[in-house]
Amino acid sequence: MEDRRIEFGMSWADVAEEAKISIAHLRRIRTGHATLTPLAARKIEKGLRWKPGSVRDILAGQMARETGGPAETGSPVEIPVDIQLAGLPDWEAHLWQTPQLSVHQRRLLIEFIHDVQTRLDAAAR
């Protein structure tokens, strides 16, 4: 999991957010202090963009299955369901389609840019 996290430039907090589990629970799983349930394994696979069964394979000493992103979603990057690209400014739509960043990283970056724009607009008045 560590290599995969680093490959995507993700923090453990990013992985936990993508997996939709708490960082504390993810830490307990990683350190062997919590039972890895099939549901938690699948959430971690989603967070690390692995195909189903990858965590089981790793625990059995095998390699993880190839990434699931494009093959499972039909899109090169995951776009959250609450985002409608058609109605966004070009720069924002472009950032949502940046595969090098996790959904969490893209959301933070876009929120930051909106905040800076708001402050600049207020200062110009």
Domains, the chain, with CATH or none? 2-70 (1.10.260.40), 77-124 (no CATH)
Averaged pLDDT, 95-115 = 86
Pairwise pLDDT comparison (30 vs 120), residue with the higher score = 120
Task: Tell me the average pLDDT across 78-104.
Answer: 83
* Separation CA 43–CA 111 (nearest Å): 25
pLDDT at position 65, please?
67
Average pLDDT over residues 77-98: 84
Task: Write out the H or E segment, with its range, that includes residue 8.
Answer: none
Confidence check: pLDDT of 94 > 90: no
What is this structure's pTM? Answer: 0.51
Cα 105 to Cα 42: distance, rounded to the nearest angstrom: 21
What number is the average pLDDT over the span 4-16? 83
| The two three-digit tokens of residue 10, written as one number | 């993700």
Q: Comparing 8 with 67, which gets the higher pLDDT?
A: 8
24: confidence class by pLDDT, cuts 50, 70, 90? very high
pLDDT value for 70: 33
Query: Is 80 exceeded by the pLDDT of residue 77?
Result: no
Q: How far apart are CA 123 and CA 118, in angstroms?
A: 9
Residues 29-67 pLDDT 10s: 888 898 888 999 888 888 888 888 888 888 777 777 655
Q: Collapsing DSSP states into helix, strand and coil, what is residue 50?
A: strand
